[in-house]
Amino acid sequence: MKEQLVQIIEESIPEAASNLEEWQCVLDGCNTIPSIFHLSSSVKYYVAYFSKNSAINLSIVLFNNNQAVGVMPLMIHLDEPNNWTLTSNGVEIIEPIFIKNLARKVKKRLELQIYNLIYKLSDRLNIRYCQFANMEYGQLSSWYLMWANKANDIFPTHHLLVDLSLSIEDIRLKLRKSFKPLVNKSLHKWIISSHNCISTDEFDKFRLLHKSVSGRSTRTLDSWKVQKDQINSAEATLITVTDNCGDLIGGGLFTYSSYQGMYCVGAYNRELFSSPIGHGVQWKAIELLKEKGCLWYEIGQKHLMIDRTPPTKKELSISNFKEGFATNVIARQHVIVNMQ
């Protein structure tokens, strides 16, 4: 299967390569600031996450005159038997990004080639619909608008952000009033540490806490391994909370690029649910991501009852908690396109 799909890619975009060695070079010199989903390690994570669903990494580096000029995160996985989904992150397809000063006509040509490739892959895999998202903050990309012209449905989601260009003092002033004493209590009551390099044994303590809190293993060991590797490759950090006996009682994992940080997974001792463990973790993350030079921290989605998929009570509660730290709320546009 993969060989057939790679052949379709090679025929559609002769100057593309599935060898991803040049990926980071493009990110380092791109004309728009890369999102978390543009990291090569993020694609590896989602492929590992969906590995039980026959996931295949189809990401490509784009070339012009033998120079790596763009990247396109892409993967497939089975939603159900014989039902393939084509995405960048398990849900939707995001825009390719390109290096600075790339001629507009070259960018347009490459975008059109990827556009045609997505139709060819969809035809080969009998995919009926694809979902596309605009990942840029504050403006609609040419890539998104190209698909919006073909859309069968358009809908927004809302997302909670912290503007890290603000001073720490200003960010603190924007905290929900009731959160300020809870952050202080968390910072003084527990030992909160950030890990920018971590051993397998230490990381497994967090993974096993997550398993204990969830009551089961929610995803593959390979997906956890990718996240551990992200920490040791300076693309993620783990913030842990321990009590005075040294026992792990909570933690959160945050992925980041040069531009953006994102809250990926958290686990907190249910017996201490009434204690403000998560408050200290979120504040520590804000401080750390600001120190690393990120401009935005995306905490998560702001769920609304009017959402396309109605949220659960738990999702609404988590969303309400995260909103207490946000300085901004944005709307992100999504389109669904009939590929047949």
Residue 337 lies in a domain: no
The confidence score (pLDDT) of residue 80 equals 81
Contacts of 83 (CB under 8 A, 6+ apart): none
- Shared domain for 208 and 295, answered yes or no, is yes
What does pTM read for this prediction? 0.92
As for how many domains the chain has, the answer is 2
Same domain, 21 and 124: yes
| Residues 128, 121 contacting (CB under 8 angstroms) | no
Tens digit of each residue's pLDDT (9 = 90 or more) over 32-89: 778 899 999 999 999 999 999 999 999 999 999 999 999 999 999 998 888 999 999 9
Q: Are 340 and 98 in contact (CB under 8 A)?
A: no
Residue 76, domain CATH: 3.40.630
End-to-end distance of the chain based on CA atoms, in angstroms?
A: 21
Chain segment 252-277, per-residue pLDDT in tens: 999 998 889 999 999 999 888 788 99
Residue that finishes a domain, picked among 150, 173, 202: 150
- Helices in the chain by DSSP H: which ranges? 2-12, 23-28, 40-49, 104-125, 142-148, 168-173, 179-189, 200-214, 221-232, 277-291, 313-323
Alpha-carbon distance of 47 to 30, in angstroms, equals 24
Domain boundary among 102, 119, 150: 150
Same domain assignment for residues 119 and 220: no
Reading the block at residue 316, the tokens are 């609404």
Q: Are residues 73 and 168 in the same domain?
A: no
Q: Give the pLDDT confidence score for residue 322 in this predicted structure.
A: 97
CA atoms within 13 A on the CB side of 167: 3
In this prediction, residue 117 carries a pLDDT of 97
CATH value at residue 305: 3.40.630.30
Residue 238 and residue 122 share a domain? no
Answer with the one of 130, 150, 170 that is the final residue of a domain: 150
| Averages of pLDDT over each 10 residues, the chain, 340 residues | 91 86 89 85 95 94 94 94 93 94 93 96 96 88 93 96 97 97 95 95 96 92 96 96 94 92 94 89 97 95 94 95 97 95
Chain segment 130-146, per-residue pLDDT in tens: 999 998 887 888 899 99
pLDDT of residue 274: 81
Q: Are residues 132 and 76 in the same domain?
A: yes
**Pair 175, 315 in one domain:** yes
What is the reported pLDDT for 200?
95
What's the domain range around 239? Answer: 160-331
Domain contains 338: no
pLDDT of residue 339: 96
Q: Is the dihedral of CA 104, 110, 116, 122 positive or negative?
A: negative
